[in-house]
Amino acid sequence: MSASRAADATNAARATRATGGWRSLLRRPSLLVALGLLLTLGAVWGVTLYHANQPKTLDQRTQEVASQLQCPICHGESVADSPSGLASEMRALIRQKLSQGESEQQVIQYFESRYGDAILESPPPQGFTLLIWVAPLLMLALGAYVVFVLGREWGARPAVATAPTEEDAALDLSDEERQRLRETLLREMEADEGLSYGALDLRKGNA
């Protein structure tokens, strides 16, 4: 009688939810361990970030500036990436300017004044070009909102409304219906590998 077994399982699951569930988590000592670990994590990351603020090497600074500039004679490659001779000369010039004490911003502006906006690997995020960043984020926010609204709908619906009750189990099902339900249940149990908790408990109970 798989149908009634399913009902048993859901009842059992619901009982667990009512008595324990989220609240019981708070009473476990493992929670303290987890909290401790998270605090350690925060401390380690804090210290690391504090130490990470060391001045960058000339190599790193050259690389950073070069990767923000577009190689003028290539198809979609930055000055940092391009194997062309011109890019190589530009990298050398960047390095020279940086070592003479110019800031990264000054070097980029120097190239911008020579070659125009098109030299920038990514356009400055302002005005029209801000759209590049804004549109994907808006779409993502919209999608997240849809998922959130759906989620709230599901969460608000009482579990009883969808879970089978004793009445369901007692219903006079036709053989075909019973077979169909049995197969649905089995498919779900199989996919969850019998490790999913409802299914496992259910089998123990009937063993």
How would DSSP label each residue in 117-136? GGGBSS--SSGGGGHHHHHH
Q: From the CB of 57, what's the least distance to another protein, in Å?
A: 10
Interaction between residue 58 and another protein (CB under 8 A): no
- C-alpha distance from residue 28 to each of 12, 31, 33, 181 (Å): 22, 6, 9, 38
What does the DSSP 8-state code read for residue 20? S
Region from 19-27, 99-107, 167-175 binding another protein, contact rule CB under 8 A: 19-27
Site for another protein in 20-49 (CB under 8 A): 20-22, 24-25, 30, 34, 37-38, 40-41, 44-45, 47-49
Q: Which stretch binds another protein (CB under 8 A): 103-111, 146-154, 166-174?
A: 146-154
DSSP 8-state code for residue 86: H
Stretch 149-188 residues interacting with another protein (CB under 8 A): 150-151, 153-155, 157, 159, 162, 182-183, 185-188
Q: Which residues contact 163 (CB under 8 A, 6 or more apart)?
A: 10, 14
Binds another protein (CB under 8 A): choice among 58, 99, 194, 205:
194
